Amino acid sequence: MKKKVIFLTFLLAAMAFALIACNNDNEETAATNAESSDRVLSLGIWAGNEAEWASIERVRQDFEAQTGITIEWRLYNDLNTQIMADLAAGTAPDAFYIDSGLAEQFVYMGVLAPLDPATFDTAAFYQNVLDTFTFNGVVYAIPKDQSSLARYVNTELLNAVGFELSDIPDDLESYLEFLPRLQSALDDHFGAGEVFAASGMYEPARALHLLNRNVNPVNPDGSSNMAHPDVVRHAEFIHTLFATGAMRTPQMMGSGWNGEAFGTGRAVIMEEGNWVYNFLRTEFPSISFEIIPMPTYMGQRSSMIFTVGWGINVDSPNQDLATAWIQYKTGVEGMYNWCVAAGPLPTRPDVAAAMAANLSAGLNVHIAQIPYATPWVLGRFQSFINDSYMNYMSAAIVGEMSIANAMENIDAQANLQINIAR
């Protein structure tokens, strides 16, 4: 019995010692951090592909050499979800990426420090891109880069069935006549169900620039306005494009995404972001394609842009360091080096001009569309509206319900959730 008691006492002592040791450990680390905190800046990003990672590492080295500040990466797999948890726990990095669609939510939660326009040279940025991160006249994030949608045309397939690049209409309305004509030529030449005229996507991230023509699908208070007659009319137009059977989603063609459908020669025309350019060059070097601007709709040019900004954690003790980093990273030198190596488009016209000479004509088409493109944002409750839209629109596109009915359901479901979350 005595032995047991001794053993137990020993065990408890060991446990207590272990706990104390752990505790000391933490204190030591905290102390080290406090001493050198004025030199270490933590940045929350995603690693991206190999080119992106190599590029940002290079920009980091340049920055560290110039300023003597040490950067500590905090890499996230799913930044949009994980950063919320870190913000709630008070462990978020000093500065981090902010997706355009989450910016308003972050500002509303009060987690972002307001940024001084003069310090960050905001006048040098594309206004519509900067506006994505501007609320009540205050800038909360500086756009680091962006991508825009353009049309990619497989000229080999097009020529094989007797069409020329110039035959492709510049306006979406003419697609209704053109796509079926191209489709029947493709069916005759390749057999039915093999090659499709156009790979299309109806989700808000791709179609918002059509849905928002002369109307806002989101109310000022953030609630969904998809059942507005004008939005319904635009959505019905999108539906008629799909109803021709000549426009299909990549999934309807049995592909994972646009780039794959296009690269494997299953679609002649696709609307895709500039990220697909390098993908096609490396994965499908044999296909020949041209890049042309997005079609007009109701007589107006349009496209979508996708942007991510740098924001500063309002609770960060290193806001001055974060400011220095963002100034450098979104300045002419930092942005140029990043965009040239990683592949996205710059968010400043001066950098775009500097890059233009080295870019292919196709990527310059992407850049030229930026000033009039619609940034991908659906208000403060983007994910509720977007998910409700996908939920019902996917049923409407395949004809299971009418567009008007789907849009009413989208509003009902999204606004129910928004009211609960508000």
Partner 1 sequence: MKLSRRTRETLQGYAFVAPAIATTMIFLGIASVAVLFMSFSRVNMVQGTYEWIGLNNYRVGFTDSLLHRAIRNTLVFSAVVVPVQTFLSLVVAAVLNSNIKFKKAFRAIIFLPTLTSSAALTMIFMFMFSMRGPVNSMLISMGLLAASDPINFLRSSDWSMRVIMIMNIWSTIPFYMTLYLASLQELPNSMYEAASIDGASEVKKFFYITIPYLRPITTFVVLTGIIGTMQMFDQAFIFSGGDGGPASSTMTIALLIYRYAFGPGSAMGYASMIAICLMVIILTLAFIVNRINKEERVY
Residues near partner 1, by CB under 8 A: 1, 4, 8, 81, 84, 87-88, 102, 105, 109-111, 192-193, 251-254, 380-384, 386-388, 390-392, 394-395, 398, 400-401, 409, 412-413, 416-418, 420-422
For 72, phi then psi, to 5°, come to: -115, 115
CB of 15 to partner 1, least distance (A): 9
Concatenated DSSP letters of 364-393? HHHHHTGGGPEES---TTHHHHHHHHHHHH
Give the long-range contacts of residues 158-163, CB within 8 A, separation 24 or more. Answer: 158/182, 158/268, 160/189, 161/185, 161/186, 161/188, 161/189
CB of 145 to partner 1, least distance (A): 24
CB of 383 to partner 1, least distance (A): 5
Nearer to partner 1, 33 or 419 (CB): 419
CB of 74 to partner 1, least distance (A): 17
Give the long-range contacts of residues 330-339, CB within 8 A, separation 24 or more. Answer: 330/120, 330/142, 330/143, 330/144, 331/121, 333/62, 334/59, 334/62, 334/63, 335/144, 335/145, 337/55, 337/58, 337/59, 337/62, 338/55, 338/56, 338/59, 338/144, 338/145, 339/145
Q: Tell me the C-alpha distance between 225 and 197, whole Å.
A: 32
Nearer to partner 1, 332 or 390 (CB): 390
Nearer to partner 1, 30 or 398 (CB): 398
Q: Tell me the C-alpha distance between 322 and 318, whole Å.
A: 6
* Cβ atoms of 147 and 274 closer than 8 Å: yes
Nearer to partner 1, 373 or 418 (CB): 418
CB of 253 to partner 1, least distance (A): 7
Nearer to partner 1, 368 or 395 (CB): 395
Q: Tell me the C-alpha distance between 111 and 92, whole Å.
A: 10
Nearer to partner 1, 33 or 108 (CB): 108
Among left, alpha and beta (phi > 0; psi -120 to 50; other), residue 78 is beta
Nearer to partner 1, 173 or 387 (CB): 387
Nearer to partner 1, 167 or 194 (CB): 194
Among left, alpha and beta (phi > 0; psi -120 to 50; other), residue 48 is left
CB of 389 to partner 1, least distance (A): 8
Nearer to partner 1, 261 or 373 (CB): 261
Concatenated DSSP letters of 12-68? HHHHHHHHHHHHHHHHHHHHHHHHHTTTEEEEEE---SHHHHHHHHHHHHHHHHHH-
CB of 118 to partner 1, least distance (A): 29
Neighbours of 135 (CB within 10 A): 17
* Cβ atoms of 140 and 168 closer than 8 Å: no
Nearer to partner 1, 225 or 347 (CB): 225
CB of 217 to partner 1, least distance (A): 17
CB of 7 to partner 1, least distance (A): 10
CB of 203 to partner 1, least distance (A): 10
* Cβ atoms of 151 and 292 closer than 8 Å: yes
Nearer to partner 1, 339 or 407 (CB): 407
CB of 410 to partner 1, least distance (A): 11
* Cβ atoms of 377 and 222 closer than 8 Å: no
* Cβ atoms of 241 and 247 closer than 8 Å: yes
